[in-house]
Amino acid sequence: MKTVKDKLEAGNKKRAGHLISSFIRSVAQEKVAGEDTVITRAEALARLLWDMALGRSKVVDVETGEISTEYSPPDKHAMDIIMDRMEGRVGTFEDEKKKSETITDRISRKNQVRINKLSKKSE
């Protein structure tokens, strides 16, 4: 049974998810970028996610102020997040927990259950 605190926390996560989704959509429609403006943290996160998905990153040298671009391979996980958000499929934390069990973990768990059943039969 969920407590009031759990329900409030779930509501906050849902609102935060909607906010990030809206910024991801706005960055997707952007045609010109690179101007120095004050942005919110959610928008900054959306921009970082897009950079990861596209496979590039900017590096600013603090001492000289020079901006250099280093290319890295596109991140599939970031692409999946963006595509899911753009299509309206927002994953939940519970979904991630279910997916976190690897095949080897599942096989080990099932084998342990089988061994326990066999040991109970032999007693």
Tens of pLDDT, residue by residue over 77-105, are: 898 888 888 888 776 555 555 566 677 77
Element (H, E) at 105: helix 103-122
**Mean pLDDT, rounded, for 10-23:** 79
The whole-number pLDDT of residue 121 equals 78
| CA angle, residues 78, 80, 86, in degrees to nearest 5 | 105
Please report, rounded to a whole number, the percentage of residues in the chain having pLDDT higher than 90.
0
| Rounded Cα–Cα distance for residues 48 and 118 (Å) | 52
Please give the sequence-ordered ranges of beta strands (E in DSSP) within 4-118, or none if there are none.
56-60, 67-71
The whole-number pLDDT of residue 63 equals 80
Domain limits, the chain:
4-91
Query: Cα 36 from chain centroid?
Result: 26
